[in-house]
Amino acid sequence: MKLACSLHDLTKDYVLKGETVRALRGVSLEVPEGDYVAIMGPSGSGKSTLLNLLGCLDKPTSGSYFLGDDDVATMNDRELSRIRASRIGFVFQSYNLIPQLTVVENIEVPLYYQGRVNRETKERCHALAAMVGLGERLRHRPTQLSGGQQQRVAIARSLVNDPYFILADEATGNLDSKTALEIMQLFARLNDEGRTIIMVTHEDDVAEHAKRIIRLRDGLVQSDERRVPVSPGSRSAT
């Protein structure tokens, strides 16, 4: 079984007003390639901290975090930036699109950072736009798109570097229920095609689409449950 990522006894401390707060107290988990994981937990459980560590946006206080064969917990900021750009596909609640750029240009953004824009990558960006249903809107800018369409651009952008996994942070949080369902259908299709997805959510009806739900409490894994996911097409939006 090949792993997309694995965490071993990961801790994270913050110093607030002179006091040390331990946000994560020794989290260990493995995510095989092709898995679909929802991470849940109440406020203060550590899920935002775990998200930041998974996304290489922060470094742990102790423990190891392997992406493939590389322990990113030991990397410096420059190395982490390279990992973020090449191995992790981010999807945020607020889409994080650049208003001045078109759909296809927004999808290309990660490639610009790596100096990898060429005819072949442009064709890939066009194909990704078509895959998420925006093949006819390549020249539109974010302000000309609905929230759901903007999130589709963000999902296409997250795939442009063929990442180890997609990391989705409350990806449906700004969407109405019908549009949220459409985004969950897209995630399900990507997972069916072999994509690894890790999403952080506080919504049970979003988490139930995952194959596995990990619940955090007080900086620890409280439960790690494998389950049969709800088919996005089996639930009607209300």
Model confidence band, residue 36 (pLDDT cutoffs 50, 70, 90): very high
pLDDT above 90 for 166: yes
pLDDT, tens only, 214-229: 999 999 999 999 999 9
Yes or no: say if 30 and 9 are a contact pair by the CB < 8 Å rule. Answer: no
pLDDT above 80 for 203: yes
The pLDDT assigned to 181 comes to 93
pLDDT, tens only, 61-76: 999 999 988 999 999 9
Model confidence band, residue 1 (pLDDT cutoffs 50, 70, 90): confident
Mean pLDDT for the chain? 93
Identify the CATH number of the domain in which residue 136 sits: 3.40.50.300
The pLDDT assigned to 21 comes to 93
Any idea which residue has 């709800």 for tokens? 230
The pLDDT assigned to 114 comes to 80
Average pLDDT over residues 128-157: 96
> Given phi > 0 = left and psi -120 to 50 = alpha, else beta, which region is 194?
left
- What ranges in 88-203 are assigned the alpha helix state H? 103-113, 119-131, 147-159, 177-192
pLDDT more than 90, % of the chain = 89
Write down the pTM of the prediction. 0.92
pLDDT above 60 for 35: yes
Average pLDDT over residues 193-201: 96
Domain that holds residue 117: 3-234
Distance CA 161, CA 151 (A): 17
Average pLDDT over residues 19-25: 95
81 to 88, 113, 163: CA distances (angstroms): 10, 10, 14
Yes or no: say if 65 and 10 are a contact pair by the CB < 8 Å rule. Answer: yes
pLDDT above 70 for 234: no
User: How many structural domains is the chain composed of?
Assistant: 1
98 to 8, 21, 42, 206: CA distances (angstroms): 36, 35, 31, 27
